Every structure is written in C-alpha cells, then in structure tokens.
Amino acid sequence: MRLRHIKGAEETIASNRFVIQEPEAVKGHWQDYFKELRGDDLPHPLHIEVGMGKGRFLMDMAEAHPDINYIGIEMYSSVLLRGLQKMEERDLNNLRFLRIDATYIEDSFEKGEVDRIYLNFSDPWPKDRHAKRRLPGRVFLKRFAGILVPGGNIEFKTDNRELFDFALEEVEPAGYEMIEYTFDLHNNEKMSAGNIMTEYEEKFSSIGNPICKYIIRLPEQV
Ligand code: SAM
C-alpha cells in the first residue's frame, strides 16, 4: 500500500474512541472489554484481521455478524486514520482497532483468546530475505498459534499466486491443518458463499485477477 504521511494522524489515533490505546492492559480480558462496550453479559467469538488497511471488510463483517466481536490490526497510522473516518459514520459496538505491528501480537492477546484470524491481501514481500515479514509465512503463523484457540481458523485471501503458493507450503511446517482452498474464489460456489470483498479484492478482481483463498485450522491438541 502506498503511504503518505498524514499530518496529525498519530494525535488523532491517540485520542480516538475506536482505537484501543493500551491493548497489553486488555490482554486476557477481551470478553469483558466487549461485554462492557455492548452492554450485554454474553460471551461472543473474537475474530481479528491482521493488516486490515482501511478496514472496510471488517466494518461490513461486523455489521453482517453482530454476534461476533471483531478487532482490526493495522500498523500504519496514516492507513488506520482512513478507517476511523468511515467508522464515525457506522459506529459499530462489536468492532475496535489496534495500531500495532503484528510482530508483537502476542503482547495484546492471551493464548486461546482469538477464534479466527483473517489475512486479506497481505503484503507479498517478494525478496527471499524478507520472507519472515510475510504474514502467511511460518514465522507469523507460529505467532498466531500463540493467540488462537485450539481448533481456531485462519482465512487467507490474495490475488498474488506466488504468495499463495508459498503460503500453501507454510501451513504444515507451522503446525496447522488445511481445511480447504481454491485458486478461484469467485467461481467456487461453496467457498464464496457469504464472501465479503475487501478493498484490494474489489480492485484486483475488477481487472480480472482470480482470487485465491485458504482456510486452515490449528489442531485441537497442540
Ligand atoms: N486487508 C486490506 C485489504 O484487503 O483491502 C489491506 C491490504 S494491504 C495490501 C496490507 C496491509 O497490511 C497494509 O495496510 C499494511 O500496512 C498492513 N500490514 C502489513 N504488515 C503488517 C504487520 N506486521 N502488522 C500490522 N499491519 C501490517
């Protein structure tokens, strides 16, 4: 994603009501955090998107699935700021944001606290020496295993076939099981049921790029 420095982005984010400023303090207590926010006393599954960009996918998901709590993670203030502007119009009480680098995601969530992780159009980092930065690579998948519930899922979408082929190879070494995958999501009736498009997905599918997707699972017994 092309980044422009937006003046005042950090300051706006630091005082924004949709951004959790000290996620380390909420670690292990996300259920309580959302119970207070929603004003109910029920447990709800927690789904997160890592690298959410402007966050429209999560806003649409949160609106479509009010019974699920969502957290969007984005490391760049200038990108997150765009999402916050949209969130003002939608004001969802089952969605909040963290401005963190997912490298340190285990500082924000307890082991077993997250039910599902979405990775959408993750940066490909094509150079070999940058492989460790790829979110669907084994280094990150192992970090994600440190916060997922046993049996929890990761759903990954991309139009980048090279990145997807790499990601398929990483699943087993990182200790996950494949549930299903496709190289052409929009022509796969089963896997595209209920699909909500991300901003990148709309952009790349509109120029004819097929969208790849997998769903993987952390084993019940790790
Ligand atoms: N998911 C969105 C979509 O599909 O429209 C945005 C995709 S964009 C290509 C990838 C986003 O992931 C960028 O905004 C980038 O800043 C973010 N990102 C990449 N690595 C990250 C990390 N380690 N932690 C948090 N965000 C990250």
Q: Ligand 1, residue 76: give the atom nearest the CA.
A: 16
* 174's tokens: 């990182």
Calculate how far, in angstroms, residue 191's C-alpha sits from the geometric centre of ligand 1: 23
pTM metric for this prediction: 0.96
- Domain annotation covers residue 222: no
Which positions are annotated as active-site residues?
123
Short-list 19, 88, 91, 86, CA closest to 57? 86
Short-list 143, 38, 172, 152, CA closest to 96? 38
Residue 210 structural domain? 9-217
Short-list 47, 54, 37, CA closest to 92? 37
Which of 71, 122, 130, 195 for mutating ligand 1's site (highest number of atoms within 8 Å of CB)? 122
Q: Ligand 1, residue 103: give the atom nearest the CA.
A: 23
| Structure confidence by residue, pLDDT tens digits, 146-167 | 999 999 999 999 999 999 999 9
Q: Rounded CA gap, 121 and 103, in Å?
A: 17
Contact 70, 95 (CB under 8 A): yes
- Domain annotation covers residue 2: no
What per-residue confidence (pLDDT) applies to 4? 59
What per-residue confidence (pLDDT) applies to 12? 87
**Count of structural domains within the chain:** 1
CB-ligand 1 contact for 76 (6 Å cutoff): yes
Q: Residue 32, Cβ neighbours under 10 Å: how many?
A: 10
Q: Rounded CA gap, 135 and 143, in Å?
A: 10
CB-ligand 1 contact for 73 (6 Å cutoff): yes
What per-residue confidence (pLDDT) applies to 63? 97
Calculate how far, in angstroms, residue 29's C-alpha sits from the geometric centre of ligand 1: 25
DSSP state of 1: -
CB-ligand 1 contact for 79 (6 Å cutoff): yes
- Domain annotation covers residue 35: yes
Calculate how far, in angstroms, residue 74's C-alpha sits from the geometric centre of ligand 1: 6
Calculate how far, in angstroms, residue 56's C-alpha sits from the geometric centre of ligand 1: 13
| Structure confidence by residue, pLDDT tens digits, 176-213 | 999 999 999 999 999 999 999 999 999 999 999 999 99
- Domain annotation covers residue 133: yes
DSSP state of 137: S
CB-ligand 1 contact for 123 (6 Å cutoff): yes
Contact 93, 37 (CB under 8 A): yes
- Domain annotation covers residue 4: no
Q: Ligand 1, residue 79: give the atom nearest the CA.
A: 14
Contact 218, 151 (CB under 8 A): yes
Q: What is the rounded (10 degree) CA torsion for 51, 57, 60, 63?
A: -20
Specify the CATH number for the domain of residue 198: 3.40.50.150
The fraction of the chain above a pLDDT of 70, given in percent, is 97
Contact 82, 30 (CB under 8 A): no
- Domain annotation covers residue 176: yes
| Structure confidence by residue, pLDDT tens digits, 94-124 | 999 999 999 999 999 999 999 999 999 999 9
* 24's tokens: 């380390």
- Domain annotation covers residue 28: yes
- Domain annotation covers residue 77: yes
Q: Rounded CA gap, 136 and 38, in Å?
A: 32
